[in-house]
Amino acid sequence: MTASTSAAPSVVTGAAPATTRPGRPRKPQQPLLYGRKPRIEIVFLWVFVTVPLLAVAAAVPVFWGWGLSWTDVGIYLFFHFFTGFGITVGFHRYLTHGAFKAKRWLRIVLALAGTMAIEGAPIRWVADHRRHHQFAEEADDPHSPWRFGESVKGLAKGLVWAHMGWLFTRENTNSRRFAPDLVADKDIRWFQKNFVWVLLFSLLLPAALGGLLTWSWQGAVTAYFWGGLVRIAVVHHVTWSVNSVCHVFGERPFKTTDKAANVWWLALLSLGESWHNLHHADPTCARHGVEKGQIDLSARLIWLFEKAGWVWDVRWPKEDRLNAKRVDAPVAA
C-alpha cells in the first residue's frame, strides 16, 4: 500500500490528520459525499439482495427434493471461503486498515476475491468502511444501528438499516477523501472499473465448474444455485451482521467511543470479524480475536501468508497496547 500523503486520511480510520506542520496551510477538507449512485445501480442492488435471498429460502425444499452432491458442497465451500476471506482479509484488514503489507500478486488475488463477494467494488467498500470508523454511531456513520434512537422501535428499525437498508440510499461516500490511496492504485482501479465482469465471473464460475466436474447440465444448474446464489446470500448476511448485530449485542471489554461489541457466536461464521469491540478499539490490528480461545480464522490465514513470506509488517496485537485499551485499565497519571 502506498503511504498516505500528509493531507490524506489515515489508513486506520479515514480521519484527516489533526494538525499539519507549522507554516504549512492545511488543505481544505474534501466533502463527505460525492455525486449520487446511478438509479440503475439501485435496481441491480435490489436484484442482488433479493434473488440470492430467495435462493436461500428455496434451499431447504431443494435440499429435501434433490439432495446435495459432494461436488456442490465442495464448490460451495470453496467460493464461500474464497470470497469470505476476500472481504475479511482483503477488503477489510488489508485494503481498509493496512494491517499488513503484501506482495503485488497477493494484493490482486485478495482484491479479486473480495470483489467476487459482490458487496460492491473495492474503493467504495473501503471508503464506506473508513467513514464508518471515523464517525461510528454519529450522524455521518453510513450504517449505525443507533440512527433512529434507543427505543425498541428505533433500534429495530436501526438494525434493519445497519444490516442492509443503508445500501439503498443514493448518497455516495467521497472516495477521494476516504480512500485516496486506492484511487491512486491502478490494480485496485481495475477492479473498480470492471466490477460488472467480476460479478458475472463470480456467478458463472461455480456453474462452469459444476458442469465440468459432473459433465452434466444439471451439475451446472445445482452448482450455480449452491455455489453462486446461496453462497452470495450467506456471505452477504454474515458481513452485514457485523454492521448490525455487532454494534448492538455482545460484550465490550475494550474502550471505544462507539457501541461496537464482541459477539462470540458469530466468530466462526464471520471468520473472526465479530470480535468487533477489539477491532474498533484497535482498528489496524491484524487479529481481532485477541484473547485466548477467541477463534479468528482471518488472523490465522494472515499468519499462514506471513509464514509463506507473502505478507510482512503484520500488525500483531501487543500486550501493553491491548492492556491500555481495556475498560478496567488503570487511568494513566
Q: Which is nearer to Zn ion, 188 or 260 (CB)?
A: 260
Q: Provide the minimum distance between the beta carbon of 244 and Zn ion in the complex, in angstroms, as a whole number.
A: 10
**C-beta of 209 vs 260, nearer to Zn ion:** 260
Considering only residues 142 through 171, tell me which ones interact with Zn ion, judged by CB under 5 A: none
- Residue with the shortest CB distance to Zn ion: 260
Tell me, by CB under 5 A, how many residues bind Zn ion.
1
The residue assigned the cell 470453496 is: 78
- Cβ 279 to Zn ion, closest distance in Å? 6
Q: What is the DSSP letter of 15?
A: P
Q: How far is the CB of 10 from Zn ion (least distance, A)?
A: 12
Minimum CB distance to Zn ion smaller for 107 or for 132? 132
Which of 325, 271, 320, 326 shows the shortest CA–CA distance to 294?
Answer: 271
Enumerate the H helices of the chain as residue ranges. Answer: 39-66, 70-85, 104-115, 122-135, 152-163, 175-178, 180-183, 186-193, 195-214, 217-223, 231-244, 276-281, 297-308, 319-325
Q: How far apart are CA 320 and CA 27, in angstroms?
A: 35
Closest contact distance (angstroms) between CB of 299 and Zn ion is: 14
Q: In angstroms, give the least distance from the CB of 96 to Zn ion.
A: 6
Nearer of residues 260 and 302 to Zn ion, judged by Cβ: 260
Mask of contacts with Zn ion, 247-276, x by CB under 5 A? -------------x----------------
Residue 228, CA distances (Å) to 1, 112, 116, 130, 179 in order: 31, 16, 10, 29, 29
Give 42 or 164: the residue with its C-beta nearer to Zn ion: 164
Listed residue (89, 88, 95) closest to 14, CA to CA: 95
Binding residues for Zn ion (CB under 5 A): 260
